[in-house]
Structure 1
Amino acid sequence: MSSFGLEPIAFHRAELVQALLEGLPEEARKKYHVGQKVVNIATTETGVVVTCANGTTFTGSMVLGADGVHSQTRKIMHKLSAEDRFSACRNPEPPFSAHYRCLWSNTPRPCAAGLGNNTQGKDRSLMWITGRERAWLLLYEKLPEPTQEPKRYTKEEMDDFAASFADWPVNDDLKVKDIYDSSTAGMSNLDEGVLEHWSLGRIVLAGDACHKFTPNAGLGFTNGIQDVALLCNLLHNATKSSAGPDIGFDELEQIFQEYQSSRKEPTAFDFGVSAAATRSHAWATPIYWFVGRFIYPLYAFQWLLMKYVVAPRMKQSRVLDYVFGEDRIQGRIPWAYPIHTKSKEL
């Protein structure tokens, strides 16, 4: 990644969300309504009405559901797709299947920052990632059978699962039992899949709501960001060329289709990379065992992978075309979509 002007760094996702929110102007922050739970979305030819659990309603021209793997927006879309006018956009619900499960925990960094390790075994694996202040432990295991049923793990189940990894090495000096912190632990089944239809009427999905990856390759959240960046650019271009303040129903559907079509190939590729990473770490087959154990650790292989696969795809990362500023992240490889420096104002 130094080819793009920076080194990889691990940080808590909540810190990024907080930084983005606090970086907004005060007037923009007033438009965020936190603590709301969506229970219904009504969509018509002219707009949408969102109803929340406390009875509050919001009206608008569209809904973007970037609300995670258990997306309430997607569930409402499924309900609406029973209507004849939306039947062509029907997805199964639940749409994804889990083949693996994962426990994660974080702790104050006990070793040098920037170091990471991967411990592999048959149907199980471990990832260790260190940031500037904290470190993250992730424990993976293949499920006995694939499942679509959601699972909430209790603290006892998580502690027992961590105990089964107790003597696994995290690095040369530490084992799981030395750093596991039950107070910061979470656990879930790892759903995988990509929806056939990402939109319905005036509703559209992004991120884990429409494509869910296993986390080994770290590509899920980044793809969600790319979804939103492209969709916002398409919507902004449409509003600039529109005679009125609103985008018509037909044009909005075309934008949603262009968005999904443009994201189809990179999403499918990263989904495959994520699935392969999870299975090679856990030695799912003899081929995955050979790749994970002998091929991937080779420096030459990683260099070729970065130069000819990762870097050409990373350079395609999108930015918001209508936000101007200084592009401070520059390296040997130029970005395909650099930040515009025309003005500091929108």
Structure 2
Amino acid sequence: MHLYHHFVCAMLDEQEVTPIQEQLQQFQALIDQKHLHKNQIMKSLIFMASGSNDIFSYFLLPDASKLTPQQYVVTMLKQLSLFVDKTYKVGARKFVFFTIGPLGCIPGRVIIRGAPTDRCMGRMNLMAKQYNEGLELFIKSIPTKYPGAIGVYAVVYNTVQKFRANPKHYGFSDVSEACCGAGSLNGELQCGLKGYKMCSNPNEYFFWDSFHPTQRVYGLLSKIATIHLYAPRCFLMDLESANAHIKSLFIFGDSIFDPSNNHFVKNCTIQGNFTPYGSSYFLHPTGRFTNGRTIADFIEVYHELAKDSRNGFPANGVNFASGGSGLLNDTNKDVVR
């Protein structure tokens, strides 16, 4: 499926990344302009993956927030609840949420003062797990709080830890360093910038750059991430026969899903639109923050909505995701990475 993701971003004069609240404004603009209708939205899947950048920024800029980790997580979850409130009101009924992975294990942690290089950063992983626990509780409440709505919870954290605990079983030779970058763990310099180095076998690496997995990891996650369903069993049928039941996909979030939207955002410095990004699949940079396809690309193939390309924009969906964005409006507004 081709999601016509450039349509909205090219229209708006955005600065830096596009947080979830602004992605929702873009979604609402399509509704107001009569490009989208409630009946279509009700038959669509809403995908959401956000929160990693919020937590990373909490540790990178410790003086920027006066909240405790617990208070910060509660603030994030409130924004998630507002997201569901707004999308539900315009017709959304089927939600798929992705948990935050073990963020304290990414190579990019080395730019945080005091972060260990010989092990994961426990405090960051703990905060990610606290958010995931809150997310799970919230999703359990969806059928009650939002009549007719159902939610799916994709367990990324535990799945990634399985990869890390037994890397050879999953075909990985390195689950600590980035394939592309420089410095400690190849996490001190963004892939592609002057002075970077790149591994010769990206498929054997878990991390592509300081922050993002390789294409191979995204492919594995799209297939084997544990799904927790808090809904009537009929939703499983919807997922298994997407062509018959799912009209389109609407995707919100960060670089896990961003197909190149940041490339079209004026003055946005968080980019993946240069060599060697995209080199393992597209053979050229596309704006995706990995060496090939993202998890959104694999999801689109899984649902096979591309079979009827005549649907066009926005009948088969829109990807609003913006790399570096967060649930909180201020996340990465002033941070370049």
TM norm structure 2? 0.27
Structure number with greater CO (CA < 8 Å, separation at least 6) is 2
Task: Name the one with the larger strand percent.
Answer: 1
Greater Rg over alpha carbons, structure: 1
